[in-house]
A and B are shown apart, each in its own frame.
Chain A
Amino acid sequence: MAKIRFRSRDLMRDVVTPVLKRHLLSIDDLTREQAILILDTADELARISDAPIKKLPTLRGRTVVNLFYEDSTRTRISFEAAAKRLSADVINFSAKGSSVSKGESLKDTALTLQAMGADAVILRHSASGAAHRLAEWTKGSVINAGDGTHEHPTQALLDAFTIRKHLNKNPEQNGGVGADLTGVNVAIVGDILHSRVARSNVLLLSRLGAKVTLVAPPTLLPVGVSDWPVSISYDFNEAIGECDVVMMLRLQLERMKSAFFPSAREYSRLFGLDMERLAKGKKSPLILHPGPINRGLEISAECADSADSLILEQVTNGVSIRMAVLYLLLGGADS
């Protein structure tokens, strides 16, 4: 049985590989096959990250710029670690302490970086669509690392990777390589309105065949959500019943300019995850959270630290996913 599968994988190599576009701005840029290629590549790179020497020569001589207009811990460090493991040179740029405080525009900053020879720019910006604009101005690849409340594609990819790996634990299934997420039930819970992570995940998970349910108070759901390929629930207790995965979102208090719910305590009681609510899940669901977490608000400390919680593993997998994206965008001939 195993033999046959091995053969079919080898034969797949002769099929034209679904090469990525020059940029990764949105999950919409990816076909199902391209998404699976990224997950499979990450799976292989994850194994290399377990090796005693974690450095590969693959992107030697390439320059990657981390252009961060918003604060970030894990995404920036994750991209930096990924680029360095592939031997790329990394330049970190944060808006604080740069010419941005003198009024330099995004375009001028981007052109300056290009003049310095950046092969890829990884952009985090508070304005939705910033990465799309940047892609029109630069010659190199642009990777969206979160733009406003729009998208955060690499986060969705690492979430899908984490889910796939855990639901295919049997060694016969080889960590799910080549597989999609057909038949998996995922609940995305909390501040959907402000969440770029939720948007990217809805697009990616449904493209990979998963069934997505959004759970949130009506005030934290965006306009037009009825057109998304999801079902909607206002009752977390009911929605958790059939879930394989619960993805908790951070309440983005910094983006909230009006009152979206009566009190933090009420929000936590209705839409927070605690052990009592977790026990209502019939399939002992996996717990995901993109971080940083507000302990005691959207998730109890006990849940965040429980055995079903994959929050730290998501961080580890993030490096593998970003290595895969960098390799697939920069590892070949200049386009």
Chain B
Amino acid sequence: MKAVLSSADISRALTRISHEIIEKNRGSEDILLLGIPTRGVHLAERIAREIGVIAGQPVPVGTLDITLHRDDLRSKPPRALTPTKIPSGGIDGKRVVLVDDVLYSGRTIRAALDALGEIGRPALVQLAVLIDRGHRELPIRADYVGKNLPTSHEEIVKVSIHEVDGEDQVQIAGSHA
């Protein structure tokens, strides 16, 4: 296990992403953050808090469970569902920013886009991730990246988040670590 991001690195990355979201959208108007369980939910809440402080007004934040839209359901026993919580007001016409911890194959995000389509029609959808580790299997790319982390398939990226794991840290483990 090799630590690649410390607690301070993570918090700096989230602050930068928050600023970038405001900059790219010219303010926080109509922005809606949706975290993908499990760790994306807490990252979304943190980013929402930061944007609220920077822009001076709170942004709505929710969660989006993608289980029922996964393309690998048939390879494992049925998974338990986690709650989808959409802020009142819905997603129609909103600038939705999906938030996840690691971007890898891109399949999770494809499932999330399908799940969104069932809830409504956002004005646009953007993607924020803490780690982009490459190896995409679909034409998907993130708008906001905390850190690009070149990896091999054999390596494992482990993101720890205070709210879930008791500490903030990103580690990498695998073939030559």
With an 8 A cutoff between CB atoms, is B65 at the interface? yes
The 4 closest A-B pairs by CB, nearest first: A332-B78, A331-B78, A44-B81, A332-B77
- Given A51-B119, A56-B69, A57-B114, do A333 and B74 touch, yes or no (CB 8 Å)? yes
- Given A7-B163, A51-B118, A56-B118, do A45 and B38 touch, yes or no (CB 8 Å)? no
- Which of chain A's residues have a CB closer than 8 A to the CB of B15? none
Is B78 a contact partner of A327 (Cβ separation < 8 A)? yes
Alpha-carbon separation in the docked complex, A53 to B77 (Å): 26
Alpha-carbon separation in the docked complex, A52 to B90 (Å): 11
With an 8 A cutoff between CB atoms, is A328 at the interface? yes
Is A332 a contact partner of B117 (Cβ separation < 8 A)? no
- A7, A11, A53: the one within 8 Å of B118 (CB): A53
B residues within 8 Å of A by Cβ? Answer: 37-38, 41, 65, 68-69, 73-84, 114, 117-120, 163-164
Instruction: Please name 23 pairs of A and B residues whose Cβ atoms are closer than 8 Å in the assembled complex, sorted by A.
Output: A13-B38, A13-B80, A17-B78, A17-B80, A19-B78, A37-B80, A40-B80, A41-B81, A44-B84, A52-B118, A53-B117, A56-B68, A56-B69, A57-B69, A327-B68, A329-B78, A332-B74, A332-B76, A332-B77, A332-B78, A332-B79, A333-B76, A334-B74
Alpha-carbon separation in the docked complex, A333 to B78 (Å): 7
Alpha-carbon separation in the docked complex, A9 to B164 (Å): 10
Is B76 a contact partner of A44 (Cβ separation < 8 A)? no
- Given A7-B164, A44-B65, A58-B68, do A52 and B80 touch, yes or no (CB 8 Å)? no
- B41, B68, B74: the one within 8 Å of A57 (CB): B68
- Given A48-B84, A56-B69, A58-B68, do A333 and B77 touch, yes or no (CB 8 Å)? yes
With an 8 A cutoff between CB atoms, is A257 at the interface? no
Is A333 a contact partner of B117 (Cβ separation < 8 A)? no
With an 8 A cutoff between CB atoms, is A10 at the interface? yes
Alpha-carbon separation in the docked complex, A54 to B84 (Å): 15
- Which of chain B's residues have a CB closer than 8 A to the CB of A177? 83
Alpha-carbon separation in the docked complex, A329 to B69 (Å): 17
Hey, what's the 0/1 contact readout for A310-335 against B, CB within 8 Å counting as 1? 00000000000000000111011110
Number of chain A interface residues as a range: 20 to 34
Since A329-B78, A331-B79 are in contact, a sample of 18 more A-B pairs with Cβ atoms closer than 8 Å, ordered by chain A residue number, is A7-B163, A7-B164, A10-B37, A10-B41, A10-B164, A13-B38, A17-B77, A17-B78, A17-B79, A40-B80, A52-B118, A53-B118, A56-B118, A57-B114, A327-B78, A332-B77, A332-B78, A333-B77
- Which of chain B's residues have a CB closer than 8 A to the CB of A57? 68-69, 114
- How many A-B contacts are there with CB distance less than 8 Å? 74
Alpha-carbon separation in the docked complex, A47 to B82 (Å): 12
- Which of chain B's residues have a CB closer than 8 A to the CB of A40? 80-81
- Which of chain B's residues have a CB closer than 8 A to the CB of A48? 68, 84, 118
- A47, A52, A58: the one within 8 Å of B73 (CB): A58
Is A331 a contact partner of B80 (Cβ separation < 8 A)? no
- Which of chain B's residues have a CB closer than 8 A to the CB of A19? 77-78
Q: Which of A9, A177, A331 has the most CB of B within 10 A?
A: A331
Chain A residues 1 to 32 lying within 8 A of chain B, measured CB to CB, are 7, 9-11, 13, 17, 19-20
- Which of chain A's residues have a CB closer than 8 A to the CB of B82? 9-10, 13, 44
Q: Which of B69, B79, B117 has the most CB of A within 10 A?
A: B79
Alpha-carbon separation in the docked complex, A12 to B68 (Å): 19
CB distance from B132 to the nearest CB of A (A): 23
- Which of chain A's residues have a CB closer than 8 A to the CB of B68? 48, 56-58, 327
Chain A residues 153 to 197 lying within 8 A of chain B, measured CB to CB, are 177
- Which of chain A's residues have a CB closer than 8 A to the CB of B37? 10, 13
Alpha-carbon separation in the docked complex, A133 to B69 (Å): 35
Instruction: Select from chain A the residue with minimum beta-carbon distance to B85.
Output: A47
Hey, what's the 0/1 contact readout for A54-79 against B, CB within 8 Å counting as 1? 01111000000000000000000000
Q: Which of A17, A37, A47, A57 has the most CB of B within 10 A?
A: A57
Alpha-carbon separation in the docked complex, A332 to B118 (Å): 22
CB distance from A88 to the nearest CB of B (A): 13
CB distance from A15 to the nearest CB of B (A): 9
- Which of chain A's residues have a CB closer than 8 A to the CB of B75? 333
Is B76 a contact partner of A47 (Cβ separation < 8 A)? no
- Which of chain A's residues have a CB closer than 8 A to the CB of B83? 9, 44, 47, 177
